[in-house]
Structure 1
Amino acid sequence: MTRSAFAMPDLETARDGTPLSHPRRPKTRYRPLAAIRHFRELLKDKENTAEVFKIYDALPSGRFIPRVRELTLSPHGEALRASEPYLPTILDDHEALRKLPEGSVAHAYCDFMEREGLSAAGLVEEFDRVGRPVYDDLIQWFGFRQRDTHDLMHVLTGYGRDALGEQCVLLFTHGQSPAQGHLLLGYAGSLHLKRLVKSEAPVMKAISQAKRTGKACPPLVGLSIRELLAKNLEEARAELNIPEPHWYRECHRIWREEGIDPYDLLAHQEQQEMAAA
Protein backbone atom coordinates (compact mmCIF):
# COMPACT_ATOMS: atom_id res chain seq x y z
CA MET A 1 0.00 0.00 0.00
CA THR A 2 1.45 3.37 -1.00
CA ARG A 3 1.53 6.39 1.27
CA SER A 4 -0.82 8.21 -1.08
CA ALA A 5 -3.41 5.56 -0.30
CA PHE A 6 -3.50 6.93 3.28
CA ALA A 7 -4.40 10.44 2.09
CA MET A 8 -8.05 10.28 3.20
CA PRO A 9 -10.04 13.30 4.40
CA ASP A 10 -10.31 11.96 7.97
CA LEU A 11 -6.64 10.94 8.25
CA GLU A 12 -4.00 13.47 9.31
CA THR A 13 -0.93 13.20 7.10
CA ALA A 14 2.31 14.98 6.37
CA ARG A 15 2.76 16.60 2.98
CA ASP A 16 4.36 13.41 1.62
CA GLY A 17 1.30 11.40 2.66
CA THR A 18 2.78 9.76 5.76
CA PRO A 19 -0.07 9.43 8.29
CA LEU A 20 0.18 10.80 11.78
CA SER A 21 -1.14 7.47 13.05
CA HIS A 22 -1.26 4.38 10.84
CA PRO A 23 -4.80 2.98 10.42
CA ARG A 24 -3.62 -0.38 11.79
CA ARG A 25 -1.94 1.10 14.86
CA PRO A 26 -3.94 -0.18 17.88
CA LYS A 27 -5.58 2.24 20.28
CA THR A 28 -3.80 2.64 23.60
CA ARG A 29 -5.45 1.71 26.90
CA TYR A 30 -4.57 2.99 30.36
CA ARG A 31 -3.81 -0.04 32.57
CA PRO A 32 -1.98 1.00 35.78
CA LEU A 33 -2.30 -2.39 37.50
CA ALA A 34 -0.69 -4.07 34.51
CA ALA A 35 2.15 -1.51 34.65
CA ILE A 36 2.82 -2.35 38.31
CA ARG A 37 2.81 -6.07 37.49
CA HIS A 38 5.33 -5.55 34.69
CA PHE A 39 7.50 -3.41 36.97
CA ARG A 40 7.64 -6.24 39.52
CA GLU A 41 8.72 -8.59 36.74
CA LEU A 42 11.40 -6.10 35.70
CA LEU A 43 12.79 -6.03 39.24
CA LYS A 44 13.29 -9.81 38.99
CA ASP A 45 15.31 -9.42 35.79
CA LYS A 46 16.57 -5.91 35.02
CA GLU A 47 17.79 -7.06 31.59
CA ASN A 48 14.26 -7.97 30.50
CA THR A 49 13.73 -4.97 28.22
CA ALA A 50 10.36 -6.31 27.07
CA GLU A 51 8.91 -5.45 30.48
CA VAL A 52 9.98 -1.82 30.06
CA PHE A 53 8.05 -1.48 26.82
CA LYS A 54 5.04 -3.19 28.39
CA ILE A 55 5.10 -0.60 31.19
CA TYR A 56 5.03 2.23 28.68
CA ASP A 57 2.24 0.53 26.74
CA ALA A 58 0.18 0.22 29.92
CA LEU A 59 0.67 3.91 30.85
CA PRO A 60 0.04 5.88 27.65
CA SER A 61 0.29 9.65 27.94
CA GLY A 62 -2.65 11.68 26.69
CA ARG A 63 -0.19 14.43 25.75
CA PHE A 64 1.98 12.24 23.54
CA ILE A 65 -0.01 12.42 20.29
CA PRO A 66 -0.44 16.23 20.55
CA ARG A 67 3.37 16.54 20.93
CA VAL A 68 3.91 14.32 17.89
CA ARG A 69 1.36 16.31 15.89
CA GLU A 70 2.82 19.67 16.90
CA LEU A 71 6.32 18.72 15.71
CA THR A 72 5.80 16.44 12.74
CA LEU A 73 3.09 18.45 10.99
CA SER A 74 4.99 21.73 11.32
CA PRO A 75 7.40 23.10 8.67
CA HIS A 76 10.25 22.53 11.14
CA GLY A 77 9.23 18.91 11.65
CA GLU A 78 8.95 18.37 7.91
CA ALA A 79 12.49 19.73 7.51
CA LEU A 80 13.80 17.45 10.28
CA ARG A 81 12.24 14.40 8.67
CA ALA A 82 13.90 15.31 5.38
CA SER A 83 17.36 16.04 6.82
CA GLU A 84 17.40 13.44 9.62
CA PRO A 85 15.08 10.60 8.62
CA TYR A 86 17.00 8.02 10.70
CA LEU A 87 19.36 9.07 13.49
CA PRO A 88 21.39 5.83 13.98
CA THR A 89 23.01 6.34 10.56
CA ILE A 90 24.23 9.76 11.68
CA LEU A 91 25.16 8.78 15.23
CA ASP A 92 27.15 5.68 14.32
CA ASP A 93 29.29 7.41 11.68
CA HIS A 94 32.09 8.18 14.12
CA GLU A 95 34.54 8.85 11.31
CA ALA A 96 32.41 11.78 10.17
CA LEU A 97 31.67 12.92 13.72
CA ARG A 98 35.37 12.96 14.61
CA LYS A 99 35.92 15.51 11.84
CA LEU A 100 33.92 18.03 13.85
CA PRO A 101 35.86 20.34 16.21
CA GLU A 102 37.53 19.11 19.38
CA GLY A 103 35.35 19.81 22.40
CA SER A 104 32.18 19.36 20.37
CA VAL A 105 29.15 17.35 21.41
CA ALA A 106 30.10 14.93 18.63
CA HIS A 107 33.51 14.17 20.15
CA ALA A 108 32.02 13.75 23.63
CA TYR A 109 29.38 11.43 22.16
CA CYS A 110 31.95 9.31 20.32
CA ASP A 111 34.13 9.14 23.45
CA PHE A 112 31.15 8.00 25.54
CA MET A 113 29.89 5.41 23.07
CA GLU A 114 33.35 3.95 22.40
CA ARG A 115 34.24 3.86 26.10
CA GLU A 116 30.99 2.08 26.95
CA GLY A 117 31.08 -0.24 23.93
CA LEU A 118 27.76 1.08 22.65
CA SER A 119 26.25 1.95 19.30
CA ALA A 120 22.99 3.46 18.13
CA ALA A 121 22.48 0.34 16.02
CA GLY A 122 22.78 -1.76 19.17
CA LEU A 123 19.90 0.13 20.74
CA VAL A 124 17.85 -0.55 17.61
CA GLU A 125 18.70 -4.27 17.82
CA GLU A 126 17.57 -4.31 21.45
CA PHE A 127 14.27 -2.73 20.39
CA ASP A 128 13.87 -5.21 17.52
CA ARG A 129 14.46 -8.21 19.81
CA VAL A 130 11.34 -7.32 21.76
CA GLY A 131 9.31 -7.90 18.59
CA ARG A 132 7.14 -4.79 18.82
CA PRO A 133 5.19 -3.97 15.64
CA VAL A 134 6.47 -1.06 13.56
CA TYR A 135 4.17 1.25 11.63
CA ASP A 136 4.95 3.62 8.79
CA ASP A 137 3.64 6.75 10.46
CA LEU A 138 4.78 9.95 12.15
CA ILE A 139 4.31 8.48 15.62
CA GLN A 140 6.92 5.85 14.80
CA TRP A 141 9.42 8.41 13.49
CA PHE A 142 8.94 10.51 16.64
CA GLY A 143 9.23 7.46 18.90
CA PHE A 144 12.38 6.22 17.19
CA ARG A 145 13.87 9.69 17.54
CA GLN A 146 13.21 9.66 21.28
CA ARG A 147 14.78 6.21 21.52
CA ASP A 148 17.84 7.10 19.46
CA THR A 149 18.70 10.23 21.49
CA HIS A 150 18.87 8.32 24.79
CA ASP A 151 22.67 8.02 24.86
CA LEU A 152 23.01 11.62 23.69
CA MET A 153 21.04 12.57 26.81
CA HIS A 154 23.70 10.86 28.93
CA VAL A 155 26.41 12.92 27.21
CA LEU A 156 24.63 16.27 27.48
CA THR A 157 23.52 15.86 31.09
CA GLY A 158 26.66 14.22 32.46
CA TYR A 159 24.74 11.29 33.94
CA GLY A 160 26.64 8.02 33.63
CA ARG A 161 25.38 4.52 32.91
CA ASP A 162 25.44 3.52 36.57
CA ALA A 163 22.13 2.64 38.25
CA LEU A 164 21.50 6.18 39.51
CA GLY A 165 22.61 7.73 36.22
CA GLU A 166 20.01 5.68 34.34
CA GLN A 167 17.28 6.72 36.80
CA CYS A 168 18.29 10.35 36.34
CA VAL A 169 18.10 10.07 32.55
CA LEU A 170 14.61 8.56 32.92
CA LEU A 171 13.49 11.57 34.98
CA PHE A 172 15.24 13.95 32.56
CA THR A 173 13.25 12.25 29.80
CA HIS A 174 10.06 12.76 31.80
CA GLY A 175 10.85 16.46 32.04
CA GLN A 176 11.24 16.48 28.25
CA SER A 177 8.22 14.32 27.49
CA PRO A 178 5.96 13.81 30.54
CA ALA A 179 4.72 10.23 30.87
CA GLN A 180 3.73 8.12 33.85
CA GLY A 181 5.94 5.31 32.55
CA HIS A 182 9.00 7.52 33.06
CA LEU A 183 7.79 8.41 36.56
CA LEU A 184 7.15 4.81 37.57
CA LEU A 185 10.48 3.55 36.29
CA GLY A 186 12.41 6.56 37.57
CA TYR A 187 10.93 7.02 41.05
CA ALA A 188 10.13 3.39 41.86
CA GLY A 189 13.53 2.36 40.53
CA SER A 190 15.24 4.97 42.71
CA LEU A 191 13.31 3.93 45.81
CA HIS A 192 14.28 0.32 45.09
CA LEU A 193 17.90 1.46 44.82
CA LYS A 194 17.68 3.23 48.19
CA ARG A 195 16.24 0.09 49.76
CA LEU A 196 19.04 -2.08 48.38
CA VAL A 197 21.87 0.27 49.40
CA LYS A 198 21.62 1.86 52.85
CA SER A 199 23.36 5.19 52.51
CA GLU A 200 23.19 8.93 53.21
CA ALA A 201 23.46 9.66 49.49
CA PRO A 202 20.73 12.15 48.38
CA VAL A 203 19.28 9.91 45.69
CA MET A 204 15.87 11.58 45.57
CA LYS A 205 17.43 15.04 45.27
CA ALA A 206 19.47 13.76 42.34
CA ILE A 207 16.50 12.47 40.38
CA SER A 208 14.42 15.55 41.23
CA GLN A 209 17.15 17.76 39.80
CA ALA A 210 17.21 15.58 36.68
CA LYS A 211 13.47 16.03 36.24
CA ARG A 212 13.76 19.83 36.57
CA THR A 213 16.63 19.88 34.10
CA GLY A 214 14.65 17.91 31.54
CA LYS A 215 11.73 20.31 31.86
CA ALA A 216 13.95 23.38 31.42
CA CYS A 217 15.78 21.92 28.42
CA PRO A 218 14.13 22.28 24.97
CA PRO A 219 12.97 18.81 23.84
CA LEU A 220 15.88 17.15 22.05
CA VAL A 221 13.46 15.32 19.78
CA GLY A 222 12.63 18.63 18.11
CA LEU A 223 16.22 19.84 17.65
CA SER A 224 18.48 19.31 14.67
CA ILE A 225 20.81 16.60 15.96
CA ARG A 226 23.34 17.35 13.20
CA GLU A 227 23.56 20.96 14.38
CA LEU A 228 23.69 19.93 18.04
CA LEU A 229 26.55 17.51 17.44
CA ALA A 230 28.62 20.27 15.85
CA LYS A 231 28.32 22.60 18.85
CA ASN A 232 30.85 22.95 21.63
CA LEU A 233 29.67 20.72 24.50
CA GLU A 234 29.79 23.37 27.22
CA GLU A 235 28.14 25.97 24.99
CA ALA A 236 25.41 23.46 24.07
CA ARG A 237 24.74 22.75 27.74
CA ALA A 238 24.44 26.47 28.45
CA GLU A 239 22.07 26.99 25.50
CA LEU A 240 19.93 24.02 26.60
CA ASN A 241 19.79 25.09 30.28
CA ILE A 242 21.59 21.94 31.44
CA PRO A 243 23.48 22.60 34.69
CA GLU A 244 26.12 20.55 36.43
CA PRO A 245 24.37 17.46 37.92
CA HIS A 246 25.31 18.48 41.46
CA TRP A 247 23.22 16.03 43.48
CA TYR A 248 24.16 13.10 41.23
CA ARG A 249 27.85 13.93 41.77
CA GLU A 250 27.19 14.27 45.50
CA CYS A 251 25.67 10.78 45.60
CA HIS A 252 28.78 9.37 43.98
CA ARG A 253 31.03 11.26 46.42
CA ILE A 254 29.14 9.98 49.47
CA TRP A 255 28.99 6.41 48.19
CA ARG A 256 32.73 6.36 47.64
CA GLU A 257 33.32 7.74 51.13
CA GLU A 258 31.12 4.92 52.43
CA GLY A 259 33.16 2.36 50.50
CA ILE A 260 30.47 1.82 47.88
CA ASP A 261 31.25 1.64 44.16
CA PRO A 262 28.56 3.74 42.37
CA TYR A 263 28.97 1.56 39.31
CA ASP A 264 28.54 -1.71 41.19
CA LEU A 265 25.84 -1.18 43.80
CA LEU A 266 24.74 -4.80 43.51
CA ALA A 267 28.13 -5.96 44.80
CA HIS A 268 27.64 -3.81 47.91
CA GLN A 269 24.21 -5.32 48.46
CA GLU A 270 25.70 -8.82 48.24
CA GLN A 271 28.39 -7.85 50.75
CA GLN A 272 25.72 -6.60 53.16
CA GLU A 273 23.77 -9.87 52.82
CA MET A 274 26.92 -11.93 53.44
CA ALA A 275 27.76 -9.87 56.52
CA ALA A 276 24.23 -10.28 57.86
CA ALA A 277 24.42 -14.05 57.33
Structure 2
Amino acid sequence: MDMSKIKMPPAPPIRPDKSLAAFFGLMRNKEETSYVFDFSYNINGGMLHRTFERFARGPFYEQMVNDRRAIFRALDDRQRLRELPVGTVGRTYADFMDREGLDTDGVAQSFRDKGLLTEDFEREYPEYSAFTYWLNITHDMFHVLTGYNRDSLGELALLNFTSKITGNRGNKYLARMGAIRVKLEDPSLPVFKVVNNGGRMGRASADLLHVNFIDLLDRRLREVREELNIVPCPVYAALPQERLLALVQPQAA
Protein backbone atom coordinates (compact mmCIF):
# COMPACT_ATOMS: atom_id res chain seq x y z
CA MET A 1 0.00 0.00 0.00
CA ASP A 2 1.41 3.34 -1.13
CA MET A 3 0.61 5.60 1.82
CA SER A 4 1.71 8.67 -0.16
CA LYS A 5 -1.46 8.35 -2.23
CA ILE A 6 -3.77 8.40 0.79
CA LYS A 7 -4.98 11.72 2.14
CA MET A 8 -4.86 11.77 5.92
CA PRO A 9 -6.75 14.16 8.23
CA PRO A 10 -4.64 16.57 10.28
CA ALA A 11 -3.70 15.31 13.72
CA PRO A 12 -5.84 16.92 16.43
CA PRO A 13 -4.08 19.08 19.04
CA ILE A 14 -3.35 17.51 22.42
CA ARG A 15 -5.59 19.10 25.07
CA PRO A 16 -5.12 17.53 28.53
CA ASP A 17 -7.68 19.91 30.06
CA LYS A 18 -10.43 18.68 27.77
CA SER A 19 -9.39 15.08 28.35
CA LEU A 20 -9.68 15.51 32.11
CA ALA A 21 -13.13 17.08 31.75
CA ALA A 22 -14.20 14.09 29.64
CA PHE A 23 -12.82 11.67 32.22
CA PHE A 24 -14.83 13.17 35.07
CA GLY A 25 -17.90 13.22 32.84
CA LEU A 26 -17.45 9.52 32.14
CA MET A 27 -17.10 8.77 35.85
CA ARG A 28 -20.48 10.45 36.38
CA ASN A 29 -22.13 8.56 33.53
CA LYS A 30 -20.37 5.49 32.16
CA GLU A 31 -23.14 4.95 29.58
CA GLU A 32 -22.24 8.20 27.79
CA THR A 33 -19.66 6.83 25.36
CA SER A 34 -19.06 10.25 23.85
CA TYR A 35 -16.86 11.00 26.86
CA VAL A 36 -14.52 8.19 25.78
CA PHE A 37 -14.22 9.79 22.36
CA ASP A 38 -13.61 13.22 23.88
CA PHE A 39 -10.92 11.85 26.18
CA SER A 40 -9.04 10.00 23.45
CA TYR A 41 -9.49 12.67 20.78
CA ASN A 42 -7.90 15.32 22.98
CA ILE A 43 -4.91 13.24 24.09
CA ASN A 44 -4.02 10.97 21.16
CA GLY A 45 -2.63 13.54 18.75
CA GLY A 46 -1.46 11.70 15.63
CA MET A 47 -0.99 8.27 17.21
CA LEU A 48 -3.89 6.69 15.33
CA HIS A 49 -2.32 7.73 12.02
CA ARG A 50 0.35 5.12 12.66
CA THR A 51 -2.33 2.59 13.58
CA PHE A 52 -4.08 3.29 10.29
CA GLU A 53 -0.86 2.62 8.40
CA ARG A 54 -0.69 -0.80 10.06
CA PHE A 55 -4.35 -1.42 9.27
CA ALA A 56 -3.71 -0.50 5.63
CA ARG A 57 -1.11 -3.27 5.35
CA GLY A 58 -3.70 -5.89 6.31
CA PRO A 59 -5.10 -8.52 3.96
CA PHE A 60 -8.68 -7.19 3.89
CA TYR A 61 -7.94 -3.45 3.81
CA GLU A 62 -9.11 -2.85 0.25
CA GLN A 63 -12.27 -4.88 0.86
CA MET A 64 -13.06 -2.71 3.88
CA VAL A 65 -12.45 0.55 2.04
CA ASN A 66 -14.51 -0.54 -0.97
CA ASP A 67 -17.44 -1.73 1.14
CA ARG A 68 -17.14 -0.56 4.72
CA ARG A 69 -20.74 -1.56 5.44
CA ALA A 70 -20.04 -5.24 4.77
CA ILE A 71 -19.04 -5.81 8.38
CA PHE A 72 -22.14 -3.97 9.56
CA ARG A 73 -24.42 -6.15 7.42
CA ALA A 74 -22.77 -9.31 8.75
CA LEU A 75 -22.96 -8.28 12.41
CA ASP A 76 -26.43 -6.76 12.10
CA ASP A 77 -28.02 -9.92 10.67
CA ARG A 78 -29.15 -10.96 14.14
CA GLN A 79 -31.65 -13.50 12.84
CA ARG A 80 -28.93 -15.50 11.10
CA LEU A 81 -26.52 -15.14 14.01
CA ARG A 82 -29.15 -16.31 16.52
CA GLU A 83 -29.62 -19.47 14.45
CA LEU A 84 -25.93 -20.40 14.66
CA PRO A 85 -24.93 -23.10 17.18
CA VAL A 86 -24.34 -22.07 20.77
CA GLY A 87 -20.63 -21.43 21.28
CA THR A 88 -19.96 -19.92 17.88
CA VAL A 89 -18.60 -16.40 17.62
CA GLY A 90 -21.69 -15.11 15.81
CA ARG A 91 -24.18 -16.65 18.24
CA THR A 92 -22.21 -15.38 21.25
CA TYR A 93 -22.08 -11.90 19.69
CA ALA A 94 -25.84 -11.87 19.01
CA ASP A 95 -26.62 -13.07 22.55
CA PHE A 96 -24.33 -10.39 24.00
CA MET A 97 -25.88 -7.60 21.93
CA ASP A 98 -29.44 -8.76 22.68
CA ARG A 99 -28.72 -9.07 26.40
CA GLU A 100 -27.20 -5.60 26.57
CA GLY A 101 -29.81 -4.01 24.28
CA LEU A 102 -27.13 -2.66 21.92
CA ASP A 103 -27.33 -1.51 18.32
CA THR A 104 -24.75 -2.95 15.96
CA ASP A 105 -23.38 0.45 14.99
CA GLY A 106 -24.17 2.17 18.29
CA VAL A 107 -20.54 3.08 19.00
CA ALA A 108 -20.05 4.34 15.44
CA GLN A 109 -23.25 6.39 15.74
CA SER A 110 -21.96 8.00 18.93
CA PHE A 111 -18.85 8.96 16.98
CA ARG A 112 -21.04 10.58 14.31
CA ASP A 113 -23.08 12.38 16.95
CA LYS A 114 -19.86 14.02 18.16
CA GLY A 115 -19.26 15.33 14.65
CA LEU A 116 -16.12 13.21 14.25
CA LEU A 117 -17.35 11.09 11.34
CA THR A 118 -19.34 13.43 9.13
CA GLU A 119 -20.28 12.94 5.48
CA ASP A 120 -17.77 15.64 4.50
CA PHE A 121 -15.04 13.83 6.47
CA GLU A 122 -15.88 10.53 4.77
CA ARG A 123 -15.74 12.12 1.32
CA GLU A 124 -12.42 13.86 1.97
CA TYR A 125 -10.72 10.97 3.80
CA PRO A 126 -12.46 7.79 2.57
CA GLU A 127 -9.70 5.38 3.60
CA TYR A 128 -9.16 6.82 7.07
CA SER A 129 -12.90 7.10 7.75
CA ALA A 130 -13.33 3.43 6.77
CA PHE A 131 -10.66 2.59 9.33
CA THR A 132 -12.39 4.70 11.99
CA TYR A 133 -15.70 3.01 11.24
CA TRP A 134 -14.09 -0.42 11.55
CA LEU A 135 -12.55 0.47 14.94
CA ASN A 136 -15.90 1.59 16.29
CA ILE A 137 -18.11 -1.19 14.98
CA THR A 138 -15.79 -3.94 16.21
CA HIS A 139 -15.72 -2.68 19.80
CA ASP A 140 -18.48 -5.03 20.91
CA MET A 141 -16.83 -7.95 19.10
CA PHE A 142 -13.77 -7.26 21.25
CA HIS A 143 -16.03 -7.76 24.29
CA VAL A 144 -17.00 -11.18 22.96
CA LEU A 145 -13.47 -12.28 22.17
CA THR A 146 -11.99 -11.19 25.49
CA GLY A 147 -14.88 -12.17 27.76
CA TYR A 148 -15.05 -8.74 29.37
CA ASN A 149 -18.59 -7.53 30.04
CA ARG A 150 -19.90 -3.96 30.06
CA ASP A 151 -19.55 -3.31 33.78
CA SER A 152 -17.07 -0.59 34.71
CA LEU A 153 -14.20 -2.97 35.48
CA GLY A 154 -14.77 -4.98 32.31
CA GLU A 155 -14.81 -1.84 30.19
CA LEU A 156 -11.57 -0.61 31.75
CA ALA A 157 -9.85 -3.93 31.15
CA LEU A 158 -11.08 -3.88 27.55
CA LEU A 159 -9.76 -0.34 27.09
CA ASN A 160 -6.34 -1.53 28.24
CA PHE A 161 -6.60 -4.51 25.89
CA THR A 162 -7.48 -2.34 22.88
CA SER A 163 -4.75 0.16 23.72
CA LYS A 164 -2.21 -2.58 22.97
CA ILE A 165 -3.98 -3.51 19.72
CA THR A 166 -4.46 0.01 18.37
CA GLY A 167 -1.76 2.03 20.13
CA ASN A 168 -4.51 4.33 21.42
CA ARG A 169 -2.83 6.36 24.16
CA GLY A 170 -6.20 7.67 25.33
CA ASN A 171 -7.49 4.17 26.02
CA LYS A 172 -4.39 3.33 28.05
CA TYR A 173 -4.59 6.44 30.23
CA LEU A 174 -8.34 6.15 30.65
CA ALA A 175 -7.96 2.54 31.81
CA ARG A 176 -5.36 3.56 34.40
CA MET A 177 -7.28 6.54 35.71
CA GLY A 178 -10.55 4.65 35.77
CA ALA A 179 -8.91 1.77 37.66
CA ILE A 180 -7.95 4.15 40.46
CA ARG A 181 -11.53 5.44 40.61
CA VAL A 182 -12.99 1.92 40.82
CA LYS A 183 -10.40 0.83 43.42
CA LEU A 184 -11.39 3.74 45.64
CA GLU A 185 -15.01 2.69 45.37
CA ASP A 186 -14.39 -0.98 46.20
CA PRO A 187 -10.88 -1.46 47.67
CA SER A 188 -11.27 -5.21 48.01
CA LEU A 189 -11.72 -5.77 44.28
CA PRO A 190 -8.61 -6.97 42.35
CA VAL A 191 -8.97 -3.97 40.05
CA PHE A 192 -5.36 -3.48 39.01
CA LYS A 193 -4.81 -7.20 38.48
CA VAL A 194 -7.79 -7.36 36.11
CA VAL A 195 -6.96 -4.18 34.21
CA ASN A 196 -3.28 -5.08 33.89
CA ASN A 197 -4.25 -8.51 32.62
CA GLY A 198 -6.19 -6.80 29.85
CA GLY A 199 -2.99 -5.12 28.73
CA ARG A 200 -1.04 -8.37 28.83
CA MET A 201 -3.75 -10.09 26.81
CA GLY A 202 -3.59 -7.36 24.19
CA ARG A 203 0.19 -7.60 23.89
CA ALA A 204 0.06 -11.39 23.54
CA SER A 205 -2.81 -11.59 21.06
CA ALA A 206 -2.60 -11.71 17.29
CA ASP A 207 -2.87 -8.37 15.49
CA LEU A 208 -6.63 -7.91 15.38
CA LEU A 209 -6.23 -5.07 12.89
CA HIS A 210 -5.48 -7.80 10.35
CA VAL A 211 -8.40 -10.09 11.25
CA ASN A 212 -11.56 -10.23 9.15
CA PHE A 213 -14.28 -10.66 11.77
CA ILE A 214 -16.84 -11.63 9.14
CA ASP A 215 -14.92 -14.86 8.57
CA LEU A 216 -15.05 -15.72 12.27
CA LEU A 217 -18.80 -15.64 12.84
CA ASP A 218 -19.56 -19.28 12.01
CA ARG A 219 -16.57 -20.63 13.92
CA ARG A 220 -16.35 -21.87 17.50
CA LEU A 221 -15.40 -19.10 19.91
CA ARG A 222 -13.00 -21.36 21.81
CA GLU A 223 -11.10 -22.23 18.62
CA VAL A 224 -10.93 -18.58 17.52
CA ARG A 225 -9.58 -17.51 20.90
CA GLU A 226 -6.88 -20.17 20.70
CA GLU A 227 -5.95 -19.13 17.18
CA LEU A 228 -5.75 -15.44 18.15
CA ASN A 229 -4.00 -16.22 21.47
CA ILE A 230 -6.71 -14.54 23.53
CA VAL A 231 -7.08 -16.07 27.00
CA PRO A 232 -9.96 -14.58 29.06
CA CYS A 233 -8.95 -13.40 32.51
CA PRO A 234 -9.86 -16.04 35.15
CA VAL A 235 -9.71 -13.44 37.95
CA TYR A 236 -12.32 -11.29 36.23
CA ALA A 237 -14.48 -14.29 35.29
CA ALA A 238 -14.64 -15.39 38.93
CA LEU A 239 -16.05 -12.06 40.14
CA PRO A 240 -19.85 -11.99 40.72
CA GLN A 241 -21.59 -9.92 38.07
CA GLU A 242 -23.93 -8.43 40.67
CA ARG A 243 -20.95 -6.89 42.42
CA LEU A 244 -19.44 -5.57 39.20
CA LEU A 245 -22.70 -4.05 37.98
CA ALA A 246 -22.98 -2.11 41.23
CA LEU A 247 -19.79 -0.17 40.45
CA VAL A 248 -19.82 3.53 39.52
CA GLN A 249 -23.55 3.73 39.03
CA PRO A 250 -24.52 6.14 36.23
CA GLN A 251 -25.85 9.50 37.37
CA ALA A 252 -27.29 12.43 35.49
CA ALA A 253 -24.49 14.35 33.81
TM-score by length of 2: 0.84
Indicate conservation of the 8 Å contact 1:145/1:221, yes or no: no
Q: Percent identity?
A: 31
Amino acid in structure 1 at the alignment position of 2:158: V
Q: Tell me the residue number matched to 1:12.
A: 4
| Shift of residue 62, structure 1, vs aligned partner | 4.2
Superposition map of 1:78-89 within 5 A? 78-82=62-66, 85-89=69-73
Amino acid in structure 2 at the alignment position of 1:265: L
Name the CA shift for 1:139/1:82 in 2 (closer, same or farther; >3 Å).
closer
Q: Tell me the residue number matched to 1:129.
A: 113
| Shift of residue 151, structure 1, vs aligned partner | 0.8
| Shift of residue 83, structure 1, vs aligned partner | 6.0
Separation in 2 of the partners of 1:132 and 1:124? Answer: 10
Which of 238, 243, 254 is residue 226 of structure 2 equivalent to? 238
Count of paired positions? 243
Indicate conservation of the 8 Å contact 1:35/1:59, yes or no: yes
Q: Tell me the residue number matched to 1:265.
A: 247
1:165 aligns with 2:154: yes
| Shift of residue 266, structure 1, vs aligned partner | 4.4
Q: Tell me the residue number matched to 1:273.
A: none
Superposition map of 1:178-257 within 5 A? 178-199=167-188, 201-250=189-238, 252=239
Indicate conservation of the 8 Å contact 1:105/1:233, yes or no: yes
* Structure 2 unaligned residues grouped into runs of 5+: none
Cα deviation, 1:213-248, whole Å, max 9, x if unaligned, reads 112222333211111112210000101111131121
Indicate conservation of the 8 Å contact 2:152/2:248, yes or no: no
Comparing both chains, which one has the higher relative contact order based on Cα–Cα distances under 8 Å and sequence gaps of 6 or more?
A: 2
TM-score by length of 1: 0.78
Separation in 1 of the partners of 2:82 and 2:105? Answer: 18
Indicate conservation of the 8 Å contact 1:213/1:243, yes or no: yes
> Which piece of structure 1 moves more, 119-128 or 172-181?
119-128
* Structure 1 unaligned residues grouped into runs of 5+: 1-9, 14-18, 268-277
Indicate conservation of the 8 Å contact 1:174/1:182, yes or no: yes
Name the CA shift for 1:46/1:62 in 2 (closer, same or farther; >3 Å).
same
Partner secondary structure for residue 167 of structure 2: coil
Separation in 1 of the partners of 2:92 and 2:207? Answer: 20
